[in-house]
Amino acid sequence: MELYRFFIFGRVQGVFYRKFVSSAAMKRQFRGYVKNLADGSVEVVVELTDEDLEEFMRILKEGSPLSTVENISYEVIADADLVYDGFEIRY
């Protein structure tokens, strides 16, 4: 398992993007969080296996029906403040 931090850019705030990502992640039992950033982007931190990375990228690209994802960047990180189980929306 690796910890990934994603930054999603585009029309991703005020369009239920966080709710969409959180619901999809919980269905697949991923552990992490999603939150809006001040610059209008969204940050997602999630624990994934190598096999799960492609599936999670599809979730982020799809987004909610009202969202428009223009760009996604990510990095592997060493540590994050994650809940022990589940996926949460942070404010």
Query: Which amino acids are annotated catalytic?
Result: 18, 36
What is the rounded distance in angstroms from the CA atom of residue 48 to the CA atom of residue 68? 24
- Angle of the 50-62 helix axis to the 17-27 helix axis, nearest 10: 150
C-alpha distances in angstroms, 29 versus 7, 24, 46, 69, 75? 21, 9, 11, 23, 21
